[in-house]
């Protein structure tokens, strides 16, 4: 089953959530699942985004300190080409003028297409059925295609169709929420309205990125131009039982991706105008056959796990990775939460999916970091350091743009997170060329910054004054996660250098690698402080964490969550309370070995974790699976799966929680299958549970396609010879392998 | 010598600094030392302030968190009544149209009056001499009086005099400095221009405080009204050698202090109009005789110590304390730095001066905290606590208004700072009524907040996640200063309660004091953690401070100071570097006993202190005096004295460093005389140095006037019997006492 179906969700809150759920994107261009005929309501707000297409603006601080980012960035809602009104007796047919008799929405994941059928009844008792199919093309990345059908059930007469290309309409304003943009400024201005060509040229106000947006239709409309819009009109005569059918094509091209973005727009227009909507669907089909061939995960279960999981994978794939000029925003292309910024979410929660199913996209994502490495070098200087690179905590164009450093710039761990992803990508793909040309340079530059940030005392290295993943505890000393990831980062950088130093002349010439700093990497890696509490048999989240009072989460009423919207940061910081997995995250990522400490740490931290971040439950679910708490693992795994579909964080209307989608992949692959990537082999420790009775997962590892089938038995197929450690036993697999699993 | 004289400082930078130095105020109303004839330049910006007269405005945060103050406050520049132009041949005579042949400025501290004589030459070679005398009346608190004389040296002809009452002119905009208001909004709007009465009514835009400002002159002018000003005009015929003499009186009354502020304005006007400028000077004289009688400090020295010191005392007295509706702003009434906000500066650096010389003003200052105690209670709730009071870090109206909590709300020590001042005030004055009616309630409410903030572990109390006085290290655990002051605060609260519990029925009824919480005070006081480092024999600034790298201050170029304007906070926070005295401050305030630890702490912290705050050097100077490092003590004491007069922090143009002025008082009284207040006695440990050969200091202690004369001998006069411990020997003094001092 590759379909998602939702019926009769017509309340405002449902509509807004479903705009996100039914958003369509191809990693490059994305559009939310608004109704093409519009809502006619005050919350109507069509949104189309081009990945990385952003504007900047001046930040304002009541107390402005040196080194604070002085410019914000946000991705920019494009010129809207979607709206197409059907007007009967001067009334546009939509939810605000009509009663909705039925609404059916469907996401066809085998075509990357949304389908909608809505049955309206006007106050005059006329009934109309609108059917819409929408794709963002996998072949023509710049193209949105919409097939509209307007059927009269019982009306005979004229219907005026008005189809727009226009400046996006501003939405309702928002309350106090640090996760949402809080200005009311226009960031895209129209420079030219070319009515005859049904095209609008625009530019971002400050970053000066240029865009051409054009529309055309399967019917000949008469276009009228205004200063901020073009309206195509046509009057149809319709009879009871008949339909008006119009396809609309919207093409956005930008100077960001194409120097000749205007002629590119023409070219796409020309090519696509020769095709029908169904021709485009053929391309979709072929693209998604390839995609699902490797990405599809079968799950034998009484529940909807398989369909939700694959929906999630589909949306991860839609969110980015099409080019090394962009990354993946926290909400992908599905909404404006977090302003289209890229975070560590990509490297920790999403790169594994791409590395294992589509290494080209994984490389694109890492190359984005390489392409912005100079910005990260500048940020290191800005923070007072003499060299190295500090990956920005949040950014679009590569410059740090986090205005609240305690939960931003202070998260030095991002340097090791990106390095971890590079190392894992390399282990998964064996892409040595990438490592030599780009990867090692990033590993070392990010390490150099951290080396300078370290303190050294009595034979031990400390990393003081930083924030770990958990944002309810900020600017602390020796965050365990950060130090553990740094240890891994440094050791692997050291090893890679020693293995390939003779191949590193080019990078050596560029950034002057010294033997001393390479030795230092090993020394730090051996002597970095990892705060351990013997009494509790756990690693302390940081050097002072265990000294604080625990916050009694059970005594806090439900409506006070997420805590960040209800408590002063100082209050949260004074307590043992976690927004998200921190110590446990490194245990999961680095497959912590000592089961007793792992378990005690889990039992200590999980009850004081609010999971107010959507990056949390997937990690605890994996840890639970690994520790044998299958029921607990499943419970969290299902909550992870359903985060957006059930709107668990109550903000899905602002976009998909893309890292969490990645977390659902990690949940099944790291958690259930127990897959771990190593340099020369894989390891798995598959489990099945009451809820997950069996599953099939395919991956690509160093050019081999490997398929794992787990149920009462374990079957492995591989296109090449591969060494897999199965439940701690090495097995060399070439072709097929099958054993019975103990239940 | 009670005069300050400065000649020929006519450069822009000098003029701006001297506006501050020659600002005149009476604690209630203040005006900067701009030229009454104006400058005619783009930096002309007349500023008049009424203490506590403020507006609020919405704060903006790029990431807005719950509990952050959502409103800023700033004091408001009043309607300007000062400007009076002398126009010759259509040119106003001022520094922009004329050459300045000479400029002499004088501050007569025996009258609280500034005197200025400036000799102008026009491009047509006409010469004029303007003489100005200016006071802010000590008798009529609402009154500014200016005596102007315009003398022609070689010009015969018409002079047009234009005297203004007008909306203040906006100044130049500013760069990035967190200490300065960074908006460009008008906060006072004119509601009525009453030309006939030469009066303008205005109101603050958001806080809706009302104000009436009126002017009148000793000459009859013809008034013209505009929408934002009134201009009084008169044409004089002048002959070579003759002068035009006009006195101008400006009266500001506000709804903040008088319900009937309009009739109050009339009344002052009526009374003052019967008086001459010299009559007003008689009142000044009598006021300042009383003031200097107790406050004047004689210093026998080769340098200008005496005159500078007494200038400083004069300016402290001018800065506030006239009413319990206001406090003392960081810059007093002398400039707009820190937006007129009240900080802990008052209680720690200024209350001692008032308590020892003018207890009524000291009480006013403490009563301001009592009058705003409900705001502090609300702030405790806002921060997530269930009870008690959290004194705001910066405020005008009593609400917390610090937008950057790490160097703001997180400074929990302010609760104990205010309590310390209350206790010291009580010890100095024996004002038991104040304690029973107000003082104890404040001690307990501020303690209750802190009790809830404490952590308890293994028999020790910890105060985690707070910021101490040093703002280059923020949000840390167990700041020594904070904990030590809390210990003192709790112990004294406990003692007071036990001594007077039978008198505390009223407060008991109001805030329900429980025996448990009183016992808790003692328990905490006994068991609060004071982080000590045995190896170094010092108290650690906080639990992690000594783990950090030291910042090598000598390697940082001079132009990089203050560091806060040149380094990202995260960089500073990661290093051992102090903005200001922290551990040493508590040692000074609480007269730390163990000399070896005191000395080692001094030697450890002083070299890593930048003194980027003007609250720092005075403390180190006192410590040095107490530890016998007389040369060091004197060096810093002199720098403290000269901070504003020599513009050492390069920002005296934004106003006087009032806490530092208080620090110069503490320097001589705590540092040199070694005075300490105890409950039933005083102690002194007087020293003399090469630079300070002798001195006379008077104080009021529990109703006794006590004068200390120190030189080769020590003489003490007291109006009542008093017990004084002199160099650790108790002496009961009644009348005169004299001993020889060992050199």
C-beta separation of B94 from B38 below 8 A: yes
The widest CA-to-CA distance across chain B, in whole angstroms, is 89
Instruction: Give pLDDT tens digits for A545-603.
Output: 999 999 999 999 999 999 999 999 999 999 999 999 999 999 999 999 999 999 999 99
Residues B26 and B651: their CA atoms lie apart, in Å, by: 23
Question: Does residue A687 sit in helix, strand or coil?
Answer: coil
**How many angstroms away from the CA of A64 is the closest CA of chain B?**
5
Alpha helices in B564-691 (DSSP H): 569-573, 583-589, 595-605, 617-626, 630-642, 658-666
Distance CA A173, CA A45 (A): 12
B471 is catalytic: yes
C-alpha A525 chain-centroid distance: 31
SS3 A108: strand
pLDDT tens for A251-276 read 999 999 999 999 999 999 999 999 99
Q: For the segment B424-456, what is each residue's pLDDT rounded down to a tens digit?
A: 999 999 999 999 999 999 999 999 999 999 999
Instruction: Classify residue A395 by its DSSP letter.
Output: B
Instruction: Please tell me which of the candidates B64, B383, B457 has its beta carbon nearest to residue A178.
Output: B64
**Chain B CB within 8 Å of residue A463 CB:** no
Q: Choosing among A574, A579, A612, which should be mutated to test the B contact, i.e. which has the most B CBs within 10 A?
A: A574
Return the half-sphere exposure (C-beta side, CA atoms, 13 A cut-off) of residue B585: 28
For A567, the 3-state DSSP assignment is: coil
With 0-12 / 13-18 / 19 or more C-beta atoms within 10 angstroms meaning exposed / middle / buried, residue B298 is middle
* A374 in contact with chain B, both atoms CB, cutoff 8 A: no
A173 touches chain B (CB under 8 A): no
Mean pLDDT computed over every residue of chain B: 96
Rounded to an integer, the average pLDDT of B168-181 is 63
Q: Using 50, 70 and 90 to split pLDDT, how confident is the model at B467?
A: very high
Rounded to an integer, the average pLDDT of B682-701 is: 96
pLDDT tens-digit map of A404-459:
999 999 999 999 999 999 999 999 999 999 999 999 999 999 999 999 999 999 99
Is A64's Cβ below 8 Å from some Cβ in B?
Answer: yes
Residue pair B571/A384 in contact (Cβ under 8 Å)? The answer is yes
Residue of B306, B347, B471, B691 marked active site: B471
CB atoms within 10 A of CB B530: 14
The tens digit of pLDDT for each residue in A67-91 reads 999 999 999 999 999 999 999 999 9
Rounded to an integer, what distance in angstroms lies between the CA atom of residue B738 and that of residue B743? 16
Residue A713 — φ and ψ, nearest 5°? -120, 170
Query: Taking residues B644-673, what's their average pLDDT?
Result: 96
Which DSSP string corresponds to B118-177? EEEE-TT--EEEEEEEEEE-SSSTTEEEEEEEEEESS--EEEEEEEEEEPPPP-----S-
CA B371 to chain centre: 19
pLDDT at A367 over 90: yes
Chain A hits for B72, CB-CB cut-off 8 Å, are 62
Q: Which chain B residues are closer than 8 Å to A477 by Cβ? A: 544, 547
Distance CA B218, CA B248 (A): 7
Domains of chain B: 3-61+69-291 (2.70.98.40), 296-672 (1.50.10.10), 678-743 (2.60.420.10)
Contact A1, A306 (CB under 8 A): yes
Q: Which residues pair with B5 in a beta bridge?
A: B106
Residue B164 to residue B166: CA distance in whole angstroms: 6
Instruction: Round to whole Å and give the CA distance between A396 and B682.
Output: 65
Give the total residue count for chain A. 743
Interface check A430 vs B, CB under 8 A: no
pLDDT at site A579? 98
Of the candidates B403, B548, B564, the beta carbon closest to that of A464 is on B548
State whether residue B75 sits within 8 Å of chain A by CB: no
pLDDT (average), residues B464-491: 97
Across the range A700-724, mean pLDDT stands at 95
ipTM surpasses cut 0.95: no
Summarize the confidence of residues A521-537 as an average pLDDT.
Answer: 98
Residues 314-333 of B with CB under 8 A from A: none
pLDDT band at B538 (very low <50, low <70, confident <90, very high): very high
Locate the chain B residue with the closest alpha carbon to A572: B384
Nearest CA in chain A to B65: A178
Q: Is the dihedral of CA B722, B725, B730, B731 positive or negative?
A: negative
| Residue A243 pLDDT exceeds 60 | yes
Specify which residues B118 forms β-bridges with. Answer: B103, B130
| Adjacent-strand bridge partners of B697 | B708
CB contact under 8 A, B475 and A475: yes
Where is B442: in which H helix or E strand?
A: helix B440-453
Average the pLDDT over B704-714 and give the result.
96
Q: What is the pLDDT of residue B743?
A: 45
Run of H or E residues at A5: strand A3-7
Phi, psi torsion values for A232, nearest 5 degrees: -95, 135
**Contact B66/A410, CB-based, under 8 Å?**
no
Q: Can you give the pLDDT at residue A738?
A: 87
Task: Give the mean pLDDT of A669-687.
Answer: 96
Give B718's strand partners.
B706, B735
**In whole angstroms, what is the distance from residue B564 CA to residue B612 CA?**
8
Q: What is the mean pLDDT of residues B644-663?
A: 96
**Residue B177, pLDDT above cutoff 80:** no
Which pLDDT band, with edges at 50, 70 and 90, does A743 fall under? very low
Place of tokens 């398929």: A707
Cα Rg of chain A (Å, integer): 26
Token representation of residue A174? 């928002």
CB contact under 8 A, A66 and B573: no
> Tokens 């957006």 identify what position?
A644
Where does the pLDDT of residue B585 fall: very low under 50, low under 70, confident under 90, or very high at 90 and above? very high
Q: Is residue B179 predicted with pLDDT exceeding 70?
A: no
Q: Is A703 on the interface with B (CB under 8 A)?
A: no
Distance between CA atoms of A659 and A666, rounded to whole angstroms?
A: 10
* A618-676 residue pLDDT tens: 999 999 999 999 999 999 999 999 999 999 999 999 999 999 999 999 999 999 999 99
pLDDT digits (tens, 9 = 90+) for A131-146: 999 999 999 999 999 9
Is residue B175's pLDDT more than 70? no
Cβ contacts below 8 Å, chain A against chain B, sum to 148
pLDDT in tens, B601-645: 999 999 999 999 999 999 999 999 999 999 999 999 999 999 999
B627 touches chain A (CB under 8 A): no
Q: Is the pLDDT of residue A171 over 60?
A: no
């Amino acid at each position: 089953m590759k379909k998602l179906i939702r019926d009769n969700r017509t309340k405002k809150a449902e509509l807004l959530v479903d705009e996100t759920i039914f958003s369509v994107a191809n990693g490059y261009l994305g559009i939310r699942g608004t109704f093409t005929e519009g809502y006619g309501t005050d919350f109507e707000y069509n949104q189309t985004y081009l990945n990385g297409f952003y504007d900047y603006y001046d930040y304002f601080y009541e107390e402005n300190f040196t080194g604070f980012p002085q410019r914000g960035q946000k991705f920019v809602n494009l010129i809207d080409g979607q709206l197409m009104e059907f007007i009967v007796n001067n009334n546009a047919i939509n939810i605000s003028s009509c009663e909705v008799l039925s609404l059916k929405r469907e996401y066809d994941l085998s075509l990357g297409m949304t389908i909608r059928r809505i049955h309206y009844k006007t106050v005059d008792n006329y009934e109309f059925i609108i059917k819409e199919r929408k794709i963002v093309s996998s072949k023509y990345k710049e193209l949105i295609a919409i097939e509209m059908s307007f059927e009269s059930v019982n009306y005979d007469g004229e219907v005026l169709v008005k189809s727009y290309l226009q400046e996006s309409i501003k939405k309702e304003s928002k309350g106090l929420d640090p996760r949402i943009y809080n200005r009311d400024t226009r960031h895209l201005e129209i420079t030219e309205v070319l009515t005859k060509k049904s095209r609008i040229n625009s530019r971002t106000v400050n970053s000066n990125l240029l865009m051409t947006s054009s529309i055309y239709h399967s019917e000949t409309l008469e276009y009228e131009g205004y200063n901020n819009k073009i309206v195509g009109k046509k009057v149809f005569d319709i009879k009871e039982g008949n339909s008006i059918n119009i396809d609309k094509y919207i093409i956005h091209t930008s100077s960001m991706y194409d120097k000749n973005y205007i002629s590119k727009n023409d070219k796409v227009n020309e090519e696509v105008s020769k095709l029908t909507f169904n021709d485009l669907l053929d391309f979709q089909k072929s693209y998604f056959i390839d995609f699902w061939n490797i990405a599809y995960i079968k799950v034998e279960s009484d529940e909807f796990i398989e369909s939700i999981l694959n929906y999630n994978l589909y949306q991860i794939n839609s969110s980015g990775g099409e080019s090394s000029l962009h990354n993946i925003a926290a909400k992908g292309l599905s909404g404006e939460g977090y302003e289209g910024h890229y975070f560590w979410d990509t490297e920790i929660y999403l790169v594994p999916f791409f590395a294992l199913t589509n290494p080209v996209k994984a490389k694109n994502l890492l190359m984005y970091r390489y392409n912005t490495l100079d910005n990260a070098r500048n940020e290191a200087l800005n923070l007072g350091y003499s060299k190295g690179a500090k990956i920005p905590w949040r950014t679009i164009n590569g410059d740090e743009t986090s205005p609240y450093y305690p939960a931003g710039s202070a998260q030095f761990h991002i340097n090791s997170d990106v390095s971890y992803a590079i190392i894992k990508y390399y282990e998964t793909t064996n892409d040595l060329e990438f490592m030599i040309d780009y990867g090692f340079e990033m590993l070392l530059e990010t390490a150099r910054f951290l080396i300078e940030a370290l303190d050294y005392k009595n034979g031990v290295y400390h990393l003081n004054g930083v924030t770990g993943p958990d944002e309810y505890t900020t600017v602390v000393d020796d965050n365990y996660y950060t130090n553990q990831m740094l240890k891994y980062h440094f050791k692997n950088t050291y090893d890679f250098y020693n293995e390939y130093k003779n191949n590193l002349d080019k990078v050596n010439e560029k950034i002057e690698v010294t033997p001393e700093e390479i030795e230092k990497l090993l020394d730090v890696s051996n002597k970095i402080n990892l705060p351990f509490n013997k009494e509790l048999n756990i690693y302390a989240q940081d050097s002072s964490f265990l000294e604080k009072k625990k916050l009694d989460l059970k005594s806090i009423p439900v409506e006070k969550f997420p805590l960040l919207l209800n408590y002063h940061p100082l209050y949260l910081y004074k307590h043992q309370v976690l927004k998200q997995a921190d110590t446990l995250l490194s245990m999961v990522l680095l497959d912590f070995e000592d089961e007793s400490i792992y378990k005690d740490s889990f039992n200590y931290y999980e009850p004081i974790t609010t999971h107010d971040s959507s990056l949390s439950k997937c990690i605890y679910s994996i840890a639970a699976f690994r520790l044998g708490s299958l029921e607990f693992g499943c419970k969290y795994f299902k909550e992870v799966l359903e985060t957006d579909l059930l709107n668990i964080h109550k903000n899905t209307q602002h976009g998909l929680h893309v890292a969490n989608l990645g977390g659902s992949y990690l949940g099944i692959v790291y958690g259930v299958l127990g897959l771990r990537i190593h340099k020369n082999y894989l390891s798995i420790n598959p489990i099945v549970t009451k809820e997950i009775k069996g599953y099939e997962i395919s991956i690509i590892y160093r050019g081999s396609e490997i398929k794992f089938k787990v149920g009462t038995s374990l079957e492995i197929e591989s296109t090449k010879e591969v060494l897999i450690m199965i439940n701690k036993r090495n097995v060399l697999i070439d072709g097929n392998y099958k054993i019975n699993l103990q239940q």
